[in-house]
Amino acid sequence: MTLPSPTLIWYYYICPREVWLMSRHLEPYQANPFIELGRLISNEAYAKERKEVIIQTPEQSGGMVIDLVKTEGAEVVVAEVKKSSRFEKSARMQLAYYLMRLKMLGIEARGELLFPKERKKVTVELTEDIKEELKIAIDEIKRIIEQDRAPKPKLIKFCKKCGYQELCWA
């Protein structure tokens, strides 16, 4: 089964048009200051305990780059560092998707979302409801990608931060 990349899961919960643009390998404008800030926070926060893990799964599309992996007793915990909780839903579902993909590889894990600027931590678990929601998202992403044309742009709060602004609103 071909699965979408974790990045597409994140974008799906923000904007379907962005999913389509990403799927065509149209890279967002990299000079966008918010993209840079995200990278900076991602690189600096938790630098001491950071153990970035890249998991490539050839039979599935889109490898996973996990920010932190740690063990707490017998439990495996994977964590993602985000610059703000403004798009928490996207971040939660992306992390749940990591948990689902790890489970497919035989690894049971719990997730933690870390928002260092807000000193906030959110636990993410792969519940039956979240698994069901992910299945719907995966099907919907496939449907969006198969379309010949991108979904029409819709003005949302994220547009101000989006690297595709020029493609949508110029």
Our CA angle for 130, 134, 135, nearest 5°, is 120
What lies within 8 Å, CB to CB, of 123 at 6+ separation is 110, 111, 112
Output phi, psi for 164, to 5 deg.
-100, 10
Assign 136 to helix, strand or coil.
helix
What lies within 8 Å, CB to CB, of 84 at 6+ separation is 115, 117, 118
Task: Please choose, out of 43-51, 69-77, 91-99, 162-170, the segment that lies near ligand SF4 by the rule CB under 6 A.
Answer: 162-170
Is the CB of 43 or the CB of 147 nearer to ligand SF4? 147
* Residue 158 binds ligand SF4, judged by CB under 6 A: yes
* Residue 159 binds ligand SF4, judged by CB under 6 A: yes
Task: Please choose, out of 1-9, 116-124, 130-138, 152-160, the segment that lies near ligand SF4 by the rule CB under 6 A.
Answer: 152-160
Burial status of residue 37 (CB atoms within 10 A of its CB: 0-12, 13-18, 19 or more): middle
Is the CB of 13 or the CB of 164 nearer to ligand SF4? 164
* Residue 154 binds ligand SF4, judged by CB under 6 A: yes
Selected binder of ligand SF4 within 8, 18, 91, 134 (CB under 6 A): 18
Question: Is there a contact between 67 and 55 (Cβ–Cβ < 8 Å)?
Answer: no
Selected binder of ligand SF4 within 26, 77, 145, 168 (CB under 6 A): 168
* Residue 162 binds ligand SF4, judged by CB under 6 A: yes
* Residue 15 binds ligand SF4, judged by CB under 6 A: yes
Q: Return d(Cα 53, Cα 64) in angstroms, integer.
A: 8
Task: Please choose, out of 56-64, 123-131, 141-149, 158-166, the segment that lies near ligand SF4 by the rule CB under 6 A.
Answer: 158-166
